[in-house]
Structure 1
Amino acid sequence: MAPRGAERILSGAARPVLALLLAGIIFVTDEKVGFHAAVSVLYPLVLVLGAGRSGRRGIHAWTALCLALPVISFISVHMPRPGAEAALRLTFALAVTGLTGALLNGRLRLREARDARASSEETLRQFAELIPQILFRTDAGGRLTYLNPWFTRLTGRSAGEALARQHWHEALHPEDRDRYLRLHTEAGLSPQRIHVRARDSAGQYRWLLLHRRPRLDPVTGALAGWYGSGIDVDAEVRAAAEIRDLNARLERLAAQREEALRRSEHRFRALFDDLNIAFAEHDLSAAKPLVDAARDAGAGSLAAHDAAHPGYIARCLAGIRLVSANRAMLQMLGYGEETGLLSPAWPAPRGGRGAQMPLIQLEALFDGRCHVSGSTTLPGRDGRALPVAFGLNLIPESCTALSTFIDISEQEAAHAAMLAAQSSLARAGRAATMGALSTSLAHELNQPVQALTTEIDTIRRWLQRDPPEMARALRTLDRLAGNGARIAAIMRRTRAQLVTGEAPAMPLDLRALLRETSALLEGDLSHRSARLQVECTLDDPQVIADRIGLQQVFVNVLLNAAEAIAARPGGGHGLIRVLVREAPDDMACIRIRDDGPGIAPQHLEKLFEPFFTTRAQGMGMGLHICRGIIERFGGTISAGNHVGGGAEIRFTLPRPRARACAEHAA
């Protein structure tokens, strides 16, 4: 118990006190014996006792104290005549004390280095245990000397047992085990990396990326061992394998698609070149900004914008480029090779109506229509206008216009012949009508004319008597005047029938009549670049009218609308709309609109007056006759301008139910 108590005393706060007490005893003894005894050499014991567990400052302080005390004692005893022996003992004591202080400083530095190393080793150990990688160290022969705990977490094998038995490589896949061992035996001093598969704690193989770097002896430079790590890259390796498989599959699909595209292109090219239908592809990308600018500016139509900005349509036409045309297109227009068709002269107008198709493309682009069909003319190489039926498909994304054309020259010739035949038949019909009218007129006038002749002969006889019978002659003259009035009435009725088409009114189908009128006027409307559109919302489109008279009304109004379209500035195609709607009192309302310049306000009141016309060659009787016909049928007619532009003629006609009610009321 005594040694342990003394150790506690010496190791506690009493050590400095004991050291000071011992230093005092040595100092007093030196004062008494006068350095004749080797008492001062005990100061290193004071230094060890006082500064043995102190820091660097404590060692320096105690060393300074132990050096100062013998010097003070020597000065107080031997000065001013120090002896050689005393000086030698002082020197020895100082040397021993200084050496002891240096040893204590060295021991302190050694202890600090040992503590720092222990701390560094602990930090490194914690880092090696926490990092999610396998860390290992081997000697020069490849024997494992260290494995961090991540080896156990990944493989389920004890790291300590693996170090003891050196069987860690059994966790590797058999195919990778030999490869790794062979790499280890054949490796030089360069860093190494290799992918291997290791069995995890669940019994499944996972991919690891092993890195090894050589550890060289600092003195000899020889190989002392290896430092290495194993990173779990199973997800990356499997993802890379899936990506490789996906890329291979995509390459196969791309090759298949490319082959299918090549075959499709080959088929399309064969159809494109060999098909009898003419085909052309146009690029509208240069014209589209101009068309969009006009639309954004609020223009109602390209023609209106061109009227406000002269030369606008010409700039748009210059922005249309022909990309390609098939053989049928070239042959139809009289070109021998595509280079001639692709020259800047096509599809620019060559006079007349050669610019119709480019204008149709621009109008479709302006209106946002993707599909347009109809008939037009194309300029051939010899300058002739070739009539064609066309189908236009616009692809807005690429500003591409795909057009198909069919030569309808023969159909047009046949149609012209049909129209000529219809005209001849119409003339023959009119002649027959006039003949029938003449026969009827002769029949009606025969009796009054004969009576008139008889009365004249009678008057002559009465006047030739002697004396003349004046009373009888006067009575005969009265009868003669009555027959003259009868003849005049017959002539007035005949003239009215010729002018107004007066005939019995009966139910007739508006749709059928409009179709018949449209067919009759097809050539006139086409010549004036006008197109007719009929919109009828009546379930039963029947009205009470005379077919010939109502058709005369439609013909007059539609031809006036077509003339207005043809006279507007800028040209281009126009639209005539016939709208048939239900009106109050069982009436049908017919509105005929055009997109021409409209009717001048000062002309609206005079429009239906006889002999009023705005055309140099007009007679001014058309609308006057129309008003008489409509009013004779029990309807009304008026004219005005549509809010969207253009003129509008409105008239109403009774429907069969209204006519029946009126007759019943009468």
Structure 2
Amino acid sequence: MPNAFTQKRLEIMKVIASQAAIALENARLYAELKAENAERHRASEERFRQFADALPEVIWITDLAPERVVYCSPSFERIWGRSVADLYDEPRLWTDSIHPDDRERVNELFSRWVSGDADRYEDIEFRIMRPDGEIRWIREIGVASRTRQGVPYRVGGIAADVTERRATEALLRRNEAHLSEAQRIAKMCSFDWMLADDRVYWSNETRRILSYDAAIPPPLDALLDRVHPDEQSAVGELFEHALLYGREIDAEHRLLMPDGTMKYIHLVGRPTIDAAGRVVALRGTIRDITEQKLADQAEQRAQAELAHLNRLATMGELTASIAHEVNQPLAAIVATAAACTRWLGAAPPNLEGTHEALIRIARDGKRAAEVIKRLRAMFQKSDLTCEAFDVGELVRDVHGLVRGDLRSRRITLKVNVPGGLSNAWGSRVQIQQVVLNLVMNALESIEGGETADRTLTISAAPSRPGVMEISVVDSGGGLAEGSADRVFEAFYTTKKSGMGMGLSISRSIVEAHGGAIWAVDNDGSPGATFRFTLPISS
């Protein structure tokens, strides 16, 4: 039969059926794979959305042709203050929100990047304006998907709100500017030496103080190289002790600059020590105190000149007394020399008498020489050159200067200075001037007093460890009411003559020595007591 299933047809139909079964199975597998891929894609999109929704930054994806926002994370609403739905409806809302002053720059850079003229679109910072008028700073990074021909069809990116960071940076810049200006005004700089990598960070003012090129960060040796040669060893030892033992640095020293000028600086360093007790950093400041030092030196010179004038004035007041002190031994020398002439002219010569007379001449000559020596010391200009001196010897010299005045005024001087006080520290001439000023004031106070006791007492003794106290006690009329502090003011005086500078100069001298001076009325007796302190030489 023509339509009968022949063996050949059956074999063909088996092949067709087998292929159909394979096709159906492939169709089923493809459908399952498609569904699996769709599920995997949906799960991937869900994970992306969960991740993107949780980020504080805004993640956005936009198709370019036609322009359509594919995705924008919810943080957009918090940062931009606008709804994501509005952005989906109007994609230009994104660029329209950019601050007018930044919009052209951002749009130009975005267009150049998309067209391929710019290699990157990242670290772009611009401002946006929220509907409530608030301005925020945005930092944006973009990526592009391109065809094989390099044509972009989709772009995406991350936008972060950096408003707080920008505000913090602006605050830091202001603080740095204020610190830099404060350091410039104070003529101070700072340094930070990190020992791990042996790097030193300097503030801007350091280069001016150390006279280094502003473009070249100076090394740590920059400071030591500038230190005056006479002080390099001591300063190097300070740094060595700071690094080895963690000791702080606080010292003043000189810098010798390349142009030959001298600077004075105050150096302070604070080591940073880790948990293991090792010094890991040294931070500190350098302050240029040149003007202060020069001003101090000028003030010291002015005070020394004023003190010298005061000594001259005091010597003028003592002229008659001093003349008598010099004239007395000179007159004795003349008289004794005349006697020597007669004894030598006798027959036979009186050699024994002549010998004794020559001894008296030498003694009187020495007396006159001592008076002149004291005068020369008082007339000389003296800087504040400190040394150890004997208080007893100083008081004896003052006594020698006022001996004639004491005699003419019929005033008794008592000295309570034990032997061995040879360790007072200061300028001997200047301290002698202080004592002399106090003694002269005491003599005038006693002269103008109404008491029968005409006694002046000078005492000296250590008052506490490291401190010597010297006092001048008179039996005069005492201090005027309320004048205990005012007597040391310049031009203050209760006398008919004088300018009122003696006690003021005395206070300046004592305070320059690190001491103090004060006055009190005597307790239970007429007169006043003036006391001052000096350091004791170690």
Normalising to structure 1: TM-score of the pair? Answer: 0.31
Q: Tell me which protein shows more strand as a share of its residues.
A: 2
Larger radius of gyration: 1
TM score, norm. by length of structure 2: 0.38
Which one has more relative contact order, counting CA pairs under 8 Å at least 6 apart? Answer: 2
